[in-house]
């Protein structure tokens, strides 16, 4: 009987539970044993694990966070740590491992695969910054959370003729900003992938003011804040207010974007990816990352996936600019 392990690693993301549930249920359906490992690679090294049964993942599909907990494990960056991880897998009898996380987690999965424990990575991060996959688990929910919050900010911006400048997450990736910016009708979207100027934003606002609009939303990706002379979102607000005369306030949404019930789309994506991961392990295949490409679930070699370059959707960015006048 095959035994597989499952863990969640790095930053948590809504939908991770749906992926865990799918892995557990698929593996049990196929007659495998499943070991749930708590707190990522740290839990593997500490043997913090529990055997999963059909009921272990009841009532988790709709919950944010991860029931397996997540952690960062600096030891796993060194060969000695990975070697210990392999030894634990051999000792416990884990024949394959599913790792739900981001880039860093996949590097660990690759190192462990090379040592003979087949590992499959599932992209779980709100940032959508995994180059090989059009979507990562957590992104859709995060965008919807931002949209709900900004809709609320819009109500009060509108009542007071204000400009609201909202900082959203995404690390070096502007996707959360781009998608939420379009969904919320932002007048400007600042992302690390596209150069922008405050002059151009001020000019656009002045044009828009002349047509009668008095309140504005600007979405700023965290990846542009405090780099290249751009200060905090409050600094941007101060400059906009000084140059346009429109009262400007800043809001940093923060970790609220990492929580909440996963959207339906997220649950479906996570369920498909989890199922696919187990199919690969069943065939003894490891060192692969699952991805969603053109609405199909596919897999890539981990190193190949890590070396891919993300392509920012410039066309969508252009559309956002053209329809926000
Ligand atoms: P997110 O970006 O969403 O936070 P992530 O998976 O990229 O997710 P990291 O903190 O970079 O988050 O990595 C998670 C864990 O993966 C690390 O704590 C470490 O245990 C392991 N890891 C990271 N980098 C490597 C590496 N180069 N080699 C082996 N293991 C690594």
User: Cα of 171 to ligand 1 centre, how many Å?
Assistant: 14
Q: What is the pLDDT of residue 186?
A: 97
Q: Establish whether 22 is an annotated binding residue.
A: yes
Whether 139 is in the pocket of ligand 1, judged by its Cβ within 6 Å, is no
pLDDT digits (tens, 9 = 90+) for 169-215: 999 999 999 999 999 999 999 999 999 999 999 999 999 999 999 99
**Catalytic: 127?**
yes
ipTM of the complex: 0.94
* CA 320–ligand 1 middle distance (angstroms): 33
Model confidence at 228: pLDDT above 80: no
Element (DSSP H or E) covering residue 234:
helix 233-244
pTM: 0.96
Chain mean position to CA 253: 15
- Please report the pLDDT score of residue 57 as a whole number: 96
Does the pLDDT at position 217 exceed 80? yes
- Residue 24 assigned to a binding site: yes
Residues above pLDDT 70, as percent of the chain: 100
Residue with the bigger pLDDT between 32 and 228: it is 32
CB distance 76 to ligand 1 below 6 Å: yes
pLDDT, tens digit, 9 for 90 and up, residues 40-60: 999 999 999 999 999 999 999
No. of helices (H) and no. of strands (E), the chain = 11, 11
CB-CB contact of 65 with 34 (8 Å): no
Residue nearest ligand 1's atom 28 by CA: 77
Atom of ligand 1 nearest to the CA of 101: 6
Q: For ligand 1, is residue 128 a contact (CB within 6 Å)?
A: no
User: Is 202 annotated in some ligand binding site?
Assistant: no
49: β partners: 37
- Catalytic pick among 12, 127, 140, 175: 127
Confidence at 230, pLDDT banded by 50, 70, 90: confident
Which region, left, alpha or beta, applies to residue 98 given φ > 0 means left and ψ of -120 to 50 means alpha? beta
Residue listed under structure tokens 């932002």: 186
């Amino acid at each position: 009987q095959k035994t597989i392990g499952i863990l969640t690693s790095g930053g948590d993301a809504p939908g991770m539970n749906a992926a865990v549930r799918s892995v557990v249920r698929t593996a049990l359906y196929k007659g495998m044993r499943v070991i749930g490992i708590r707190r990522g690679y740290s839990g593997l090294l500490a043997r913090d694990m529990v055997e999963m049964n059909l009921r272990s993942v009841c009532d988790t599909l709709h919950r944010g966070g991860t029931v397996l907990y997540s952690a960062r494990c600096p030891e796993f960056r060194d060969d000695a740590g990975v070697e210990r991880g392999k030894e634990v897998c051999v000792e416990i009898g884990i024949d394959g491992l599913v790792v739900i996380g981001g880039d860093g987690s996949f590097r660990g999965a690759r190192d462990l695969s090379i040592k003979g424990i087949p590992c499959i990575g599932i992209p779980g991060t709100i940032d959508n910054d995994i180059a090989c996959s059009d979507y990562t688990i957590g992104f859709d929910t995060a965008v919807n959370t931002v949209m709900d919050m900004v809709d609320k900010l819009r109500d009060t911006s509108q009542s007071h003729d204000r400009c609201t400048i909202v900082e959203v997450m995404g690390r070096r990736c502007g996707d959360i900003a781009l998608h939420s910016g379009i969904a919320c009708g932002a007048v400007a979207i600042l992302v690390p992938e596209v150069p922008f100027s405050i002059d151009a934003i001020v000019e656009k606002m002045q044009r828009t003011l002349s047509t009668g609009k008095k309140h504005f939303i600007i979405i700023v990706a965290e990846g542009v804040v405090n780099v290249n002379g751009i200060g905090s979102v409050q600094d941007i607000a101060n400059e906009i207010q000084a140059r346009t005369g429109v009262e400007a306030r800043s809001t940093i949404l923060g970790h609220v974007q990492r929580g909440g019930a996963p959207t339906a789309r997220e649950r479906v994506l996570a369920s498909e990816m989890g199922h696919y991961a187990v199919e690969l392990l069943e065939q003894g295949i490891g060192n692969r990352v699952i991805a969603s490409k053109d609405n199909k679930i596919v897999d890539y070699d981990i190193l190949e996936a890590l070396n891919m370059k993300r392509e920012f959707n410039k066309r969508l960015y252009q559309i956002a600019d053209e329809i926000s006048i």
